[in-house]
Amino acid sequence: MTAPNAEKMSSDDAWIRSGRKVLAIEQQAIEDMAARLDAGFAAACRLLLACKGRVVCTGMGKSGHIANKIAATLASTGTPSFFVHPGEASHGDLGMILDTDVVLALSNSGESDEINMIMPVLKRQGNVIISMTGKPQSRLAQFSDVHLDVSVSEEACPLGLAPTSSTTASLALGDALAVALLEARGFSSEDFARSHPAGSLGRRLLVRIEDLMHQGDDLPTVPATASVTEALLEMSQKRLGMTAIVDERMGLLGVFTDGDLRRALSAGPIDFSQTPVATLMVANPKTVAAGHLAVEAAHLLERHQINGLLVVDADNRLVGALNIHDLLRARVV
């Protein structure tokens, strides 16, 4: 396709002016919508909050893409929701919609045949219908229990054809609904993490020390009577850069790390085979409980400038160990 206006847009300033004009038009559309937000918005929020089923979002064309995104935002912020394509709905997918569901239907014109065709069926089934249109007198608006006005004074498209300002307004209003419901539910960052376990926030708020710690045969331990040589052998085999010194009941007595070894060597000659590790260990080392979040372990390591932590139970018995590499592998830090 040729670009007859390419010469007119040859400078950076021309491109930037065009971009700023679009953003200004869409910003104004959102500001106008915010100014006319009324009791209908509150009514929609109450209906969505009281929903015993799911929120079913639907829309055709560009409105369908926006509806799909609204469904995803609702679902990830505490409101069970999914998208149904209106064309597929009239060919069997209506069976996915229960009578306890609330339907959120998007259409800028309010006259999309695919959507209006399924509205009578949903009404007979008893579904609550909330619509977002730019035409309060449209058929879809009339079908609805609550209508939300997303009309815009102009599209950002200079031809007035491509949905631009109108889709931005609908998307922003969908976000407003989701956030209002989030606040009403008391939805927390921990709740968000549960639906995003693969994300960085999910890892920080869901992964616990017990999920990462070394335990059993992988746990480096020696008795207080062990020599430094025996401690070094244990450290070499378990590869955590440290070993715990424990009593016969796995009660924690201290820790010996590769840092302690360096400090001992710098102090003068030492006979590893004859020196009890208990004379070089650090008594009462920093510890953590298995049920704590892994991110708390990361904070402890950073605060105390250490590379590893021992994990103990309520009776100070050793149950595990982890180091900074375990946290890095789990992408907690």
Strand 282-283 to strand 287-288: parallel, antiparallel, or no bridges (unpaired)? unpaired
DSSP readout, 67-127?
HHHHHHHHHHTT--EEE--HHHHTTTGGGG--TTPEEEEE-SSS--HHHHHHHHHHHHHT-
Q: What is the pLDDT of residue 138?
A: 96
Question: What whole-number distance in Å separates Cα of residue 176 and Cα of residue 169?
Answer: 10
Tokens, residue 11: 């400078």
Check pLDDT > 90 for residue 121: yes
Q: What is the pLDDT of residue 206?
A: 73
Question: What's the chain's average pLDDT?
Answer: 91
Q: What is the pLDDT of residue 187?
A: 82
CATH of 209-329, one of 3.30.70.890, 3.10.580.10, 3.20.20.140, 2.60.40.10: 3.10.580.10
Helix 12-35 to helix 165-185 angle (10° resolution) is 50
Check pLDDT > 60 for residue 1: no
12-187 domain in CATH 3.40.50.10490? Answer: yes
- pLDDT tens for each residue of 36-78: 999 999 999 999 999 999 999 999 999 999 999 999 999 989 9
Q: What is the pLDDT of residue 269?
A: 84
Check pLDDT > 90 for residue 294: no
Q: What b-and-e string marks burial along 249-268, b requiring 16 or more CB atoms within 10 Å of the CB?
A: ebebbbbbbeebbeebeeee
269 exposure class (CB count in 10 Å sphere: 0-12, 13-18, 19+) = exposed
Check pLDDT > 70 for residue 7: no
Nearest to 169 by CA among 124, 201, 132, 199: 132
- For 140, phi and psi rounded to 5 degrees? -65, -40
Q: What is the pLDDT of residue 204?
A: 67
Q: What is the pLDDT of residue 296?
A: 87
Q: Which residues lie below 8 Å from residue 327, measured CB to CB, with a gap of 6+?
A: 212, 294, 297, 298, 301, 333
Q: What is the pLDDT of residue 189?
A: 72
Query: pLDDT category, 197, cuts 50, 70, 90?
Result: low
Q: What is the pLDDT of residue 178?
A: 96
Check pLDDT > 90 for residue 320: yes
The predicted model gives 181-193 an average pLDDT of 82
Check pLDDT > 90 for residue 249: yes
Q: What is the pLDDT of residue 123?
A: 94
Helix 62-76 to helix 165-185 angle (10° resolution) is 20
Check pLDDT > 90 for residue 11: no
* Coil vs helix vs strand at 251: strand
The predicted model gives 135-143 an average pLDDT of 95
Q: What is the pLDDT of residue 3?
A: 63
The predicted model gives 304-318 an average pLDDT of 92
- pLDDT tens for each residue of 65-114: 999 999 999 998 999 999 999 999 989 999 999 999 999 999 999 999 99
Check pLDDT > 70 for residue 6: no
| DSSP-assigned beta bridge partners for residue 104 | 57, 130
Query: pLDDT category, 199, cuts 50, 70, 90?
Result: low
Nearest to 157 by CA among 225, 217, 108: 108
Query: pLDDT category, 2, cuts 50, 70, 90?
Result: low
The predicted model gives 317-325 an average pLDDT of 93
* Coil vs helix vs strand at 130: strand
Q: What is the pLDDT of residue 267?
A: 84
Q: What is the pLDDT of residue 297?
A: 87
Question: What whole-number distance in Å separates Cα of residue 137 and Cα of residue 190?
Answer: 42
